[in-house]
Amino acid sequence: MLFRQLFDPESSTYTYLIADPVTREAALIDPVIDQVERDAQLLRELDLTLVHTLETHAHADHITGSGLLRQRLGSRSVVSAAAGALCADVKVADGDKVHIGGITLEVRATPGHTSGCVSYVTGDHKDAFTGDALLIRGCGRTDFQQGDSATLYDSVHQQIFSLPDDTRIWPGHDYRGRTMSTVGEEKAFNPRLGGGRSKDKFVSIMSELNLALPSKIDVAVPANLACGLAPQAASDASFERGWAPVERLSDGTPEVSVEWVRQAHPEVRLVDVREVEELGGELPKLERAESVVLDQLAVRMADAPREEPIVIICRSGRRSAGAARTLEGMGFKRVASMKGGMLAYLEAEDAGGTCAG
């Protein structure tokens, strides 16, 4: 089995790539939308075909990349039937099996953190991908999303601690730099669930945590129930990360239409990357756009907030496409190129629109 453990530093989420080295079929477990470019590049480099994305649950701290990966690479989204994600291509239940080439993953229902939690266990029982049900020396909280401490206790003991002691545990998160554990270690040393602790003691521990809600819960949960894509707009374009009707070209370029830019909220930053001498004449810079010459873009944007919504503009859309991909490579999460550039903008204006600049 070809295997990679990948990490999203903002949410401390682990994404797992597993693949059959013979068939070159691959799956990603718990992909993060902010890391889609990274994951797609790795798949290309390893000459792998993404056939499935698998969710361990509907996450509250990050948005899944499953919907965007499906759009771009044709993969199928696998989610627990109990999670309520109607967008899923495959809805699984306890005992189901998912095949990636010659690799078989067994689905084990492990509710308690949420009602739709599942763990994925390899057919040889050597590896278990436990999501938030069982973490390294910890577990997922049980105070929201249909969480229930007694249910989680039973899930872990019956579905995970019943595996061989040398089964490797690959968690959904870790906040202290740890990468993996084993069933035997967690049975012995997990301060919440291990060491022979009773169910009553576990329930008591969990009731006293008093944790603040995840900062992204109001955005992440609804988005994840839609496979990471917001509901479709009237234009029937898929919204990416909920900020704009972004469409992806085959080369990965994120684009938005001239029509959307003309009506964009003032908080959307417009950046014109043309040379200064290009900004006069029949294709002037939009009034509220700022001028950042293309070869200065990386330097000028180095300290900009990575969550800021940004639309890049040029004459025809070619330079802005490359600029948008550059900014995504720098970690910007809400960036797009204006399709067709100022030529398209002027054409739309001549057709009877009103300049929104």
How would you classify the pairing of strands 49-54 and 25-29?
parallel
- The CA dihedral of 157, 30, 114, 58, to the nearest 10 degrees, is -170
DSSP letter string over 132-198?
TTSBTTB----SSTT--HHHHHHHIIIIITTS-TTPEEEESB-SSS---EEHHHHHHH-TTT-TT--
Q: For 159-193, how does the pLDDT look when each residue is reduced to its tens digit (9 = 90+)? A: 999 999 999 999 999 999 999 999 999 999 999 99
Q: CATH number for the 232-350 domain, one of 3.40.250.10, 3.30.830.10, 3.40.50.1820, 3.10.105.10?
A: 3.40.250.10
Q: For 317-352, how does the pLDDT look when each residue is reduced to its tens digit (9 = 90+)? A: 999 999 999 998 888 888 999 999 999 999 988 775
Q: For 227-249, how does the pLDDT look when each residue is reduced to its tens digit (9 = 90+)? A: 987 543 333 334 445 578 888 88
Distance CA 284, CA 251 (A): 28
Provide the percentage of residues in the chain whose pLDDT is more than 90: 74
Distance CA 244, CA 98 (A): 34
CA neighbours within 13 Å on the CB side: how many for 185? 13
What confidence score (pLDDT) does residue 219 get?
A: 76
Q: Is there a contact between 160 and 128 (Cβ–Cβ < 8 Å)?
A: yes
Whole-number CA gyration radius for the chain: 23
Lowest mean pLDDT among 101-115, 146-160, 209-223: 209-223
Q: Domain spans of the chain?
A: 2-207, 232-350
Q: Is there a contact between 331 and 306 (Cβ–Cβ < 8 Å)?
A: yes
Q: Strand, helix or coil at 59?
A: coil
How would you classify the pairing of strands 290-291 and 269-272?
parallel
Q: For 273-324, how does the pLDDT look when each residue is reduced to its tens digit (9 = 90+)? A: 999 999 988 899 999 999 999 999 999 999 999 889 999 999 999 999 999 9
pLDDT above 90: residue 8: yes
Q: For 15-43, how does the pLDDT look when each residue is reduced to its tens digit (9 = 90+)? A: 999 999 999 999 999 999 989 989 999 99
Q: Which phi and psi (to 5°) does residue 148 adopt?
A: -155, 120
What confidence score (pLDDT) does residue 7 get?
A: 97
Answer with the residue of higher pLDDT: 224 or 201.
Answer: 201
**In DSSP terms, which residues pair with 129 in a beta bridge?**
120, 170
pLDDT category of residue 357 using cuts at 50, 70 and 90: very low
Provide the percentage of residues in the chain whose pLDDT is more than 70: 94
CATH architecture of 2-207: 4-Layer Sandwich (3.60)
Which amino acid is located at 210 in the chain? N
What confidence score (pLDDT) does residue 241 get?
A: 52
Mean pLDDT of all residues in the chain? 91
Contacts of 123 (CB under 8 A, 6+ apart): 97, 103, 104, 105, 106
Report the run of H or E that residue 230 belongs to, with start and end: strand 229-230
What confidence score (pLDDT) does residue 234 get?
A: 31
**Sign of the dihedral through C-alpha 209, 93, 3, 29:** negative
Distance CA 257, CA 238 (A): 12
- pTM for the model stands at 0.70
